[in-house]
Chain A
Amino acid sequence: QSVLTQPPSASGTPGQRVTISCSGSSSNIGSNTVNWYQQLPGTTPKLLIYSNNQRPSGVPDRFSGSKSGTSASLAISGLQSEDEADYYCAAWDDSLNGPVFGGGTKLTVL
């Protein structure tokens, strides 16, 4: 059971906008920043969003992050087939004194 809760799956058609939610608590998302990682099939995880809504260089602006209270969201606009991947949210947890991850959301591009 992951500390952060994500839907196990999400889907969309090319060009659509999809959002993936991440729910936590006051000890993690509620008081610290959220990051998102993308793991393409058979590859290593890659940082997609950090500090709630910042994109590392090289990440397309189709990807955006937001946070409100104890929840966060990743939005992908103009969905492309190469966006098919597993997406993980993460945040520092003050109670556990360490970083925690969501269980991951498998995004399928129909």
Chain B
Amino acid sequence: EVQLLESGGGLVQPGGSLRISCAASGFTFSSYGMSWVRQAPGKGLEWVSGISSSGGRTYYADSVKGRFTISRDNSKNTLYLQMNSLRAEDTAVYYCANDNRGAAAGTYYNWFDPWGQGTLVTVSS
């Protein structure tokens, strides 16, 4: 059974840093791209960052570019998100998810499946 288990969330002050993790099991982690998607309290979904299966390519939403760094350790089947210069608007549940993407006949496809259970990051003084 595929499992994604996030950890590391918590309360951090504005301007602070936090690293969250996602431990994967039940599939060949090193064969899949991964992403982080967040959901602010009572709000919708927002893609945050993605990484290729090898870790050689990384992608970021404009809202976190320059502040967040995604990485992975395929030997540990673990995905990470290092979050620096945190702001109140970064408060959210952060989900990790398998990122299935590619292109066919000029059309780009990209879906997230499955998702972890999420870890809550609260930025507040």
Contact = CB atoms under 8 A, between A and B. Distances in A.
Nearest to B46: A101
A35 B111 contact: yes
B68 interface: no
Contacts of B117: 44
A97 interface: yes
Interface string A58-94: 0000000000000000000000000000001011101
A49 B108 CA distance: 16
B5 to A, nearest CB: 11
Interface residues of B, number: 27
A92 B110 CA distance: 6
Given A44-B95, A101-B47, A104-B44, A50 B111 contact: yes
A102 B35 CA distance: 18
Given A101-B45, A104-B44, A104-B45, A44 B109 contact: no
Interface residues of A, number: 27
A56 interface: yes
Contacts of A92: 101, 108-110
A33 B107 contact: yes
Contacts of B8: none
Tell me whether chain B's interface is mostly helix, strand or loop, or mixed: strand
Contacts of B107: 31-33
B32 interface: no
Nearest to A46: B115
Contact of A51 (B50, B61, B95, B109): B109
B66 interface: no
B118 A88 contact: no
A97 B59 contact: yes
Given A44-B116, A45-B115, A46-B115, A88 B109 contact: no
Contacts of B115: 44-46
28 contacts: A31-B106, A32-B110, A33-B107, A33-B109, A35-B111, A44-B95, A44-B115, A44-B117, A44-B118, A45-B45, A45-B115, A46-B113, A46-B114, A51-B109, A88-B44, A90-B112, A92-B110, A94-B108, A98-B47, A99-B47, A99-B110, A99-B112, A100-B47, A101-B45, A101-B47, A102-B44, A103-B44, A104-B44
